[in-house]
Structure 1
Amino acid sequence: MHRSALINPYVLVLPGFLLAAFIILWPLYQLGVISLSEVNRFGQLKGFAGLENYLAVFADPDFLGALWRTFVWTFGIVIGALVVAMPVALILNEDFYGRSVARVIVMLPWAVSLPMTAIIWRWALNGQSGMLNSGLRDLGVLDHNIQWLAQASTAFPMQILIGILVTIPFTTTIYLGGLSSIPTDLYEAARLEGAGRWQMFREITLPLMRPFVNISVVLNVIYVFNSFPIIWATTQGGPANSTDILVTYLYKLAFRYGKLGEASGLSIMMFALLLFFTLLYVVLAVRGDEE
């Protein structure tokens, strides 16, 4: 093969790579500088502070609570969406009358602005006039109103449920792309061998869908880990910071308390944490495919 044929692809990719590197690395550099500096409320650097901003974040008890809730939030939504989206995708992949309309209905929540969706849910979960309380009372499930967003024991699970519902359309889209790529000949041959639906799903669908499951896990983890609108629009991290996750805690540090140095340090830690888990999952997924 001619040498230029080997070099040309890298030359073509290089401008895009440099642009992406600048967009990602320059803000990271600026955050790193701010996180190691003493900063006032107006963003002015007052001198080198070393690791004081990082130590201040670790010393804040609200940080550990937000960190734990971030893991629960991310794991709950990602796993919930993966599990629910699979049967939805399998149904939408079948050939039935009105399938196109059904696909549009499932994808509609994805087209709606996430802050708007969160605000609608905040109205629905209102403790006095919310639709959820009204509906449950009409069905005889409740005999009194529940303040869904006034206490962490109900607010945070409801926020996770909302997160699952708004993540299902995106995950279903990925699954539908994977299901459409599976040759129908495999299923026809399995039927001739007497395999049932569950056996075909376990032996054919799941193994061939693994790359698409891996893609959905990585993208959803990145998306959910940094998801801000649902919690902020419903409770703003309350009551008493009991529903804060790292991204809402970061927002409060920077724009409510004016601690820009600590907020920058937390941003660096969040980026490193997300990068670590993403790379770890990718490595484990690749190793599993090779085995």
Structure 2
Amino acid sequence: MTASTTTLVPPSPRGLRLSKAIPGALLLILPSLLLSAMVIGYPIFDVLRMSVADVNRFGRVLGFAGFDNFLAAFTDPIFLQSAWQTLIWTFCVVGGTVLISVPIAIILNEEFYGRTVARTIILLPWAVSLAMTALVWRFVVNGDFGTLNTTLSALGLPFDNFPWLADASTAFGIEILVGILVSMPFTVTIIMGGLTAIPDTLYEASRMDGARGLQGFRHITLPLLRPFLQIAVVLNVIYVFNSFPIIWIMTNGGPANRTDILITYVYKQAFGFGKLGTAAAGSVVMFAMLLAFSVLYLYMTRSREVQQ
């Protein structure tokens, strides 16, 4: 009967150095972690606390309210209307932004005279304040003295004093277009980063195999851009879902709350009506919706990658 022997492999010097460096690295980032916990964690905790409490208009907690604030929000038809309009707003702005940004990024990735100027023009809306952009467009589509009506009337079209922001359908459509305009620079930048990472040799090989035009885009560009598109979609959904200045500055959620989204609804409940508990409950619902979307979207994209 032979006795089995176990050979112990000593750790490598690199592994020893890493194990010694980890505590020091954690100690160095500890102040940043604590600061992040205070700046991000405390507001989240306070909103959760207020959502289940009876809060007066001055922010003083009077007692435990259970789910009364959530019940008040979900029984409010304006809240449900705002939630539906938020989904429409987010889907249209993000979808339109991605559809427009992809061909623009492909064009700007090509070599042509004046490409630097074109890239600068595309990035200009990103450099301007979002509130200022919304304010400018509010004056552009003003029914009495807006430049849009003036231009259309000069062309002989019947748009003299047309009230673009007085009707909910046209007002919401204009706000969606403005949302797409201000979201394009960020999305184009992400997609251009993905395009520069695609080797030219792949396109040369595909052309030798007979691939032309849309075939190269479908079988090379789009699959390799998928990770960048995923990042653009997730980040844009988060930004657009919580986008406040465009809706508030252009229409204040009107007319008749028909352009309200959840963020403007929460703002009105908190600072317009003094219902801080209902506003906190609405904020928690918004957070839950964004978290559910992010988890579901990432799960779906990861499952698709595993299947491939």
The TM-score range, normalised by the shorter chain, is over 0.9
- Which amino acid counterpart does residue 5 of structure 1 have in structure 2? L
Q: Distance in 2 between matches of 1:240 and 1:31?
A: 28
Match of 1:202 among 186, 209, 218: 218
2:8 matched residue in structure 1: none
1:181 matched residue in structure 2: 197
Query: How is 1:86-165 mapped onto 2 (pairs within 5 angstroms)?
Result: 86-165=102-181
After superposition, what is the alpha-carbon deviation per residue over 1:52-98, rounded to whole angstroms, capped at 9, x for unaligned? 11111111110000000000000000000000001100100000111
- Which amino acid counterpart does residue 227 of structure 2 have in structure 1? P
Matched, 1:211 2:227: yes
1:232 matched residue in structure 2: 248
Question: Is contact 2:55-2:277 (8 Å) kept?
Answer: yes
Match of 1:5 among 13, 18, 24: 18
Q: Distance in 2 between matches of 1:62 and 1:139?
A: 40
Q: Distance in 2 between matches of 1:98 and 1:190?
A: 29
Number of aligned residue pairs? 291
Corresponding residue SS for 2:188: helix
Cα RMSD of the aligned pairs, angstroms, is 1.6
TM-score by length of 2: 0.90
Higher mean C-alpha deviation, range 46-55 or range 217-226: 46-55
After superposition, what is the alpha-carbon deviation per residue over 1:4-25, rounded to whole angstroms, capped at 9, x for unaligned? 6258458636634554344332
TM-score by length of 1: 0.95
Q: 1:286 to 1:7 in 2, by over 3 A?
A: farther
Q: Distance in 1 between matches of 2:185 and 2:42?
A: 33
Higher mean C-alpha deviation, range 265-274 or range 173-182: 265-274
Question: Is contact 2:97-2:183 (8 Å) kept?
Answer: yes
Match of 1:27 among 30, 33, 43: 43
Question: Is contact 2:150-2:160 (8 Å) kept?
Answer: no
Percent identity, please.
Answer: 53
- Choose 1 or 2 for highest CA Rg: 2
Q: Distance in 1 between matches of 2:71 and 2:20?
A: 47
User: Unaligned regions of 5+ residues in structure 2, if any?
Assistant: 1-11
- Which amino acid counterpart does residue 113 of structure 1 have in structure 2? S
2:207 matched residue in structure 1: 191
1:286 matched residue in structure 2: 302
After superposition, what is the alpha-carbon deviation per residue over 1:87-118, rounded to whole angstroms, capped at 9, x for unaligned? 10010000011111110011001100000000
Runs of 4+ residues over 6 Å off in structure 1: none
Q: Distance in 2 between matches of 1:207 and 1:9?
A: 37
Q: 1:11 to 1:76 in 2, by over 3 A?
A: farther
User: Unaligned regions of 5+ residues in structure 1, if any?
Assistant: none
Corresponding residue SS for 2:54: strand
After superposition, what is the alpha-carbon deviation per residue over 1:222-260, rounded to whole angstroms, capped at 9, x for unaligned? 000000000101010011111100000000000010001
Q: 1:224 to 1:143 in 2, by over 3 A?
A: closer
Q: 1:125 to 1:203 in 2, by over 3 A?
A: same
Q: Distance in 1 between matches of 2:108 and 2:166?
A: 38
Corresponding residue SS for 1:244: coil
1:47 matched residue in structure 2: 63
